Amino acid sequence: MALGVGAAALYYGARGEAGMGHAAAQNSAGQAEEMAMAGEQVVDPARAGVRVGFNAGPTAPAPGQPVRLAYNVSDAETGRAITDLPVDHERPMHLILVSRDLGRFQHIHPQLGADGAYAVTAEFPRAGQYTLYAEFVRDGRKVLDRRELTIGGTDGPVANLAPDLSAKTVGGITVALAAPPAVKAGEESELTFTLTRDGEPVRDLRPYLGAAAHVAVVSEQGGEFAHTHGEAAGAGHEQEGPTMGHEHAATTGLGPEIGFHHTFPAHGLYKVWGQFQTSDGEVITADFVVRAE
């Protein structure tokens, strides 16, 4: 099976959203938006009737140099600039940057500027090629724009992954990932993160951008991308405390288990990044490699 940016590659794990065990469920505008998204597939800009112009400044950035990444979204038919992208998971645009070897990952958020572009400044610490996955919503559909950016004039190494489900410790928090013994390509799998601090379960995670976890998945071959969301395992129990008001329940008390559903589209290795927000507001990212058979 070819691993281009086809429909399977753009599968969006909407089941993770259906659990609604996260903050956006408490927010009426966010809820309506998310419900509309449930079950939707991700489309490329052409299929959504939009054109995406991209500009990096400087155009040939060096490692460590601040680079302004600017997206001009316009209506493919009229050419009119689109500057009213709806907020989805608390931002109008999400941008995930991944190095060619899948060793580096950033999740950042372009904001609308006075020039009508959605822009953000990033730094790429190492030379090499990076893939930029920008996501936004247009007419109720999730749109994915994918492009490459070369830093320091060199492509850098390709990915050479090995399966890795070992627990990672980031910022004092240990993140483990449990996957089924055999993850089957083309079938939905349930995976579960468990977060501990000094061996004790972490129960005070905050939602991060309207979800218990943000999960990015990129295939070793072809850089197929998916962005999905985790939900609290045993959804809802974090809201039961009688002393917790709605506001409070929506912003505290996630963990230690956060699950997500994903269908790996083809057999092979996939890098999986899980992002969580601690009670201090720090965002931690833990990465794993899952093999789909």
Site residues (vs Cu ion, CB under 5 A): 94
Smallest distance, Å, CB 87 to Cu ion? 11
Nearest by Cα to 135 from 10, 264, 247, 254: 10
d(CA 152, CA 149): 10
Smallest distance, Å, CB 94 to Cu ion? 3
The residue among 9 and 97 lying less far from Cu ion, judged by its C-beta, is: 97
Nearest residue to Cu ion, by Cβ distance, number only: 94
The residue among 94 and 262 lying less far from Cu ion, judged by its C-beta, is: 94
The residue among 15 and 94 lying less far from Cu ion, judged by its C-beta, is: 94
d(CA 24, CA 88): 10
Tell me the two tokens of residue 17.
Answer: 């959203």
Smallest distance, Å, CB 96 to Cu ion? 7
The residue among 94 and 146 lying less far from Cu ion, judged by its C-beta, is: 94
The residue among 117 and 213 lying less far from Cu ion, judged by its C-beta, is: 213
The residue among 109 and 168 lying less far from Cu ion, judged by its C-beta, is: 109
d(CA 272, CA 259): 13
Q: Are 71 and 39 in contact (CB under 8 A)?
A: no
Backbone phi and psi for residue 271, each to the nearest 5 degrees, phi listed first: -80, 135
Smallest distance, Å, CB 163 to Cu ion? 27
Smallest distance, Å, CB 293 to Cu ion? 30
Pairing between β-strand 50-57 and β-strand 66-75 as defined by DSSP bridges:
antiparallel
What's the sign of the alpha-carbon dihedral 197, 201, 206, 207?
A: positive
Smallest distance, Å, CB 230 to Cu ion? 14
Smallest distance, Å, CB 88 to Cu ion? 9
Tell me the two tokens of residue 135.
Answer: 């996501």
Q: Are 57 and 106 in contact (CB under 8 A)?
A: no
Q: Collapsing DSSP states into helix, strand and coil, what is residue 181?
A: coil
- Note if the bond before 58 is cis, omega within 30 degrees: yes
- Report the 10 Å Cβ neighbour count for 1: 11
Please list the alpha-helical segments (H only) found in the chain. Answer: 15-18, 28-37, 246-251
The residue among 97 and 161 lying less far from Cu ion, judged by its C-beta, is: 97
